[in-house]
Amino acid sequence: MDEYAKSDLGIIKQDRDTFYSYVKILNEYGIHARPAVMIVKLYSRYDAEINLYNSKNNALVSAKSIMGIMTLEANQNAIIRLDAKGNQAKPALEELVEMIQDGFGE
């Protein structure tokens, strides 16, 4: 995975057929069960493959797996990379970035 600049956090970029963004986890408890369910529900609404990557533990998980997301170890202040491919990749990623930046409404 490539490096990011702090100014790139939340910015959606494209590399060939993949949209990606780096985001900082803001909510106090990180990505726990409730946010994981929110991510999976978002995934189910779009025609896109979405993955989350945490470079701290080299965890790469699909946004369709609640258990996978919870093993990501995305604690408060963690920087994770979001990747999306498919017909609705960009709008899916836009909504996911917004959800994360909003702290999952917590």
pLDDT band, residue 54 (cuts 50/70/90): very high
59-95 pLDDT, tens digit each: 999 999 999 999 999 999 999 999 999 999 999 999 9
The widest CA-to-CA distance across the chain, in whole angstroms, is: 35
95 catalytically annotated: no
Secondary structure percentages of the chain, helix, strand, coil, to 5: 35, 25, 40
Q: Exactly one of 32, 64, 81, 90 is catalytic; which is it?
A: 32
Query: Could you tell me where the DSSP H helices lie in 14-88?
Result: 33-44, 66-70
Q: Where are the domains of the chain?
A: 20-105
Assigned CATH class of 20-105: alpha beta
In the predicted structure, residue 1 carries a pLDDT above the cut 50: no
